[in-house]
């Protein structure tokens, strides 16, 4: 075979197979063409066998020609395969009654409840201050809700007017916990200092529902016990907490108060965010809003939990989540949180 004949045959094969490939009807036909052109006995394969008889100069000219043709046919076969596969898919899709241009159905996304948002913001800040999560039961015995917290038997808080009593089979007198302070006695009974916990949760009081009261609400308890913990630590941490929650300009004040389980005790007020301290309905003209109770843990409480008050001391605080949430979110009626009106919930 001469070089010229080789070239002519190459051109013929190219023409023939390019045509056939482009008009192939299906994937089987493409495969047959691949075998016919490039298979072991294929047209191009057979043609290339002639190369070995060529003189070296002719080989240099014919070799690349043959290789280029092989590459071109391979590419043409692959292209055709892809086109046919796409066509097959389109046909399949056309058979189903499917309109891909239709807008997607909206997926109704859930969201956090404003109280959960508020609680999370508070616990996030407390955890940065080193507090770890703790929990206690809602249905509690009087021992953990009252006695161990140094609340005497005839204290008014234990009255049925304030407390829900629960009938259980238990020989202990049970109540719905009136504060998260039950977690103080529960936790210190089991764990010894140093300890620093926050205990968020639901609490229950026999109050009727109005704009500022609810029989079910939420508190977050804080408790820090170690050597030499004092009122100054409390003041520092609560100041940091309130600024973190309500902004750097937030002002707070400590007002002497009384709780059986802390001595000394203080209530913490925040300068009213609604009127910037000028006095309005919400702060009842005082310019301050009461936010939480706190104090230095009473030595009797430590003793009741088996902790030596000569060695250890601590502070505790309990704050109302609803109160703070109302401040943060500009909500002026506590009932808003429980009515589950989607027009309101969707705003947070
Ligand atoms: N338990 C108190 C209340 O519910 C708040 C409090 C907690 C006060 C811890 C002092 C220390 O009102």
Relative to the CA of 297, which ligand 1 atom is closest?
11
CA 192 to chain centre: 32
Our answer on whether the CB atom of 293 is closer than 6 Å to any ligand 1 atom is yes
According to the model, what pLDDT value does residue 9 have?
92
Cis peptide before 240 (omega within 30 of 0): no
The CATH number fitting domain 114-345, selected from 3.30.420.40, 3.90.1150.10, 3.90.1640.10, 3.30.930.10: 3.30.930.10
Query: How much distance in Å is there from the Cα of 292 to the middle of ligand 1?
Result: 7
pTM: 0.71
Q: Rounded to 5 degrees, what angle do the CA atoms 227, 230, 233 make?
A: 105
According to the model, what pLDDT value does residue 77 have?
94
Query: How much distance in Å is there from the Cα of 277 to the middle of ligand 1?
Result: 25
Our answer on whether the CB atom of 217 is closer than 6 Å to any ligand 1 atom is no
Can you give the pLDDT of all 348 residues of the chain as single tens digits? Answer: 899 999 999 999 999 999 999 999 999 999 999 999 999 999 999 999 998 999 999 999 899 999 999 999 999 999 999 999 999 898 888 888 878 899 999 998 889 999 999 999 999 999 999 999 999 999 999 999 999 999 999 888 888 789 999 998 888 899 999 999 999 999 999 999 999 999 999 999 999 999 889 999 999 999 999 999 999 999 999 999 999 998 999 999 999 999 999 999 999 999 988 788 899 887 889 999 899 999 999 999 999 999 999 999 999 999 999 988 988 888 889 999 999 999 999 998
Q: Where are the domains of the chain?
A: 3-94, 114-345
Relative to the CA of 179, which ligand 1 atom is closest?
4
According to the model, what pLDDT value does residue 172 have?
84
According to the model, what pLDDT value does residue 96 have?
85
What is the DSSP track for 45-107?
HHHHHGGGGS-HHHHHHHHHHHHHHHHHHHHHHHHHHHHHHHHHHHHHHHHS---TTSPPPPP
Our answer on whether the CB atom of 318 is closer than 6 Å to any ligand 1 atom is yes
215 Cβ contact list (under 8 Å, min separation 6): 164, 204, 205, 206, 207, 208, 209
Cis peptide before 194 (omega within 30 of 0): yes
Our answer on whether the CB atom of 179 is closer than 6 Å to any ligand 1 atom is yes
Strand partners, 256: 266
Our answer on whether the CB atom of 315 is closer than 6 Å to any ligand 1 atom is no
């Amino acid at each position: 075979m001469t070089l010229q004949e080789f070239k002519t045959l190459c051109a013929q094969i190219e023409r023939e197979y390019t045509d056939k490939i482009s008009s192939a009807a299906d994937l089987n036909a493409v495969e047959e063409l691949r075998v016919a052109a490039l298979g072991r006995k294929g047209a191009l394969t057979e043609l290339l066998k002639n190369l070995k008889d060529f003189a070296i100069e002719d080989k240099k000219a014919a070799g690349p020609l043959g290789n280029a043709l092989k590459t071109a046919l391979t590419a043409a076969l692959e292209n055709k395969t892809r086109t046919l596969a796409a066509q097959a898919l389109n046909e399949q899709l056309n058979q189903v009654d499917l309109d891909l241009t239709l807008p997607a159905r909206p997926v109704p996304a859930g969201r956090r409840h404003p109280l959960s948002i508020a609680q999370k913001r508070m616990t996030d800040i407390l955890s940065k201050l080193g507090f770890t999560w703790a929990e206690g039961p809602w249905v509690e015995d009087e021992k953990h809700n009252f006695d161990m917290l140094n609340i005497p038997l005839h204290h008014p808080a234990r009255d049925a007017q304030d407390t829900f009593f629960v009938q259980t089979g238990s020989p202990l007198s049970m109540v719905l916990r009136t504060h998260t302070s039950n977690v103080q006695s529960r936790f210190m009974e089991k764990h010894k200092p140093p300890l620093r916990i926050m205990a968020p949760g639901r609490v229950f009081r026999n109050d009727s529902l109005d704009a500022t009261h609810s029989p079910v609400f939420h508190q977050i308890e804080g408790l820090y016990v170690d050597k030499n913990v004092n009122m100054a630590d409390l003041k520092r941490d609560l100041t940091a907490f309130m600024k973190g929650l309500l902004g750097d300009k937030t002002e707070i004040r400590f007002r002497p108060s009384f709780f059986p389980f802390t001595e000394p005790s203080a209530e913490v007020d925040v300068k009213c965010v609604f009127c910037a301290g000028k006095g309005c309905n919400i702060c009842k003209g005082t310019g301050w809003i009461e936010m939480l109770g706190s104090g230095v843990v009473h030595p009797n409480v430590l003793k009741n939990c088996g902790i030596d008050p000569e060695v250890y001391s601590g502070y505790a605080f309990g704050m109302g989540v609803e109160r703070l949430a109302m401040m943060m979110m500009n909500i002026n009626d506590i009932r808003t949180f429980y009515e589950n009106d989607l027009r309101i919930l969707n705003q947070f």
